[in-house]
Amino acid sequence: MTLLRIGITGSKGFIGRHLVDALKNKKEVKLYGCDLPECNLLKINSFKNFAAGKDVVIHTAAANRGSDEEIIAGSVVATYNLISAIKKARGKPKLIFLSSTQAETDTVYGLSKKLTEILLQSFSQKYKIPVTVFRITNVFGEGCRPFYNSVVATFCYQVANNEALTIHNGGKEINLIYVKDLVKIILKEIFFPRKQHFYFRKITSNNIIATKKLAQLITSFQDIKNLKKLKSKFHRDLYNTYLSYIKQ
């Protein structure tokens, strides 16, 4: 049996933890994490051992809070350091980068993601190294940090703790994907043999809901007694996310 060596930056983060849970019991896989403080994305030497000898590298880590400079560095500089370490290690792992649909906006965070996508496309084409870029819509699920970058996590936490919800721009529709569904897509990509060196895919879902309706739906979970009343998989995924905050 050939052992597949998979490195994950941000393996202790929200998506990273779900990836680790999905992969850790696979006998043909050995996992390597890159997390602070030992593995600093802004210090190229931190990647020296991490980049060497990997078959797949999944790049989930980034900065989405801080000054403009910190946000840009957290995506662009960190990724540049990672690919520089891969070049020095003379390896050719499949590199999977988790970008964001924010790359389609003019926010600093969005621009940092767009620049990173361009950097990786150039890297892939120049060095013939397989790179997959997933531009992902809003991700929700168990373990996501409330009051950070997920309205679902914030609403679930507030309802679970009997706190008042503050709704901004209630008519705005958002597209949401459940983290475990996203992980399934990433797992498929890990093992899929692509012919082209660079592959780009935008990942969205059919889960589109206005912010006000999302708040009302999550608030209604307090009175759920019969799970059969949950109309769809999306509602069940939201409900399971809500339950995870009650347990905290």
Residue 33 is part of a domain; what is its CATH number? 3.40.50.720
Instruction: Please state, in angstroms and as integers, the Cα–Cα distance from residue 180 to each residue in 22, 129, 139, 143, 151, following that order.
Output: 9, 28, 9, 11, 18
* CA–CA dist 160, 176 (Å, integer): 20
Lowest-confidence pick of 47-56, 74-83, 124-133: 47-56
Distance CA 221, CA 227 (A): 10
248 pLDDT exceeds 60? no
- Model pTM score: 0.94
pLDDT digit string, tens, across residues 83-139? 999 999 888 999 999 999 999 999 999 999 999 999 999 999 999 999 999 999 999
**Which residue type is seen at 104?**
E
Report strand pairing: 198-203 vs 131-136.
parallel
Q: pLDDT (tens digit, 9 = 90+) per residue, 136-182?
A: 999 999 999 999 889 999 999 999 999 999 888 889 999 999 999 99
Domain count, the chain: 1
Domain that holds residue 241: 4-246
- Whole-angstrom distance, CA of residue 158 vs CA of residue 177: 20
Residue 244, pLDDT above cutoff 80: yes
Distance CA 36, CA 62 (A): 12
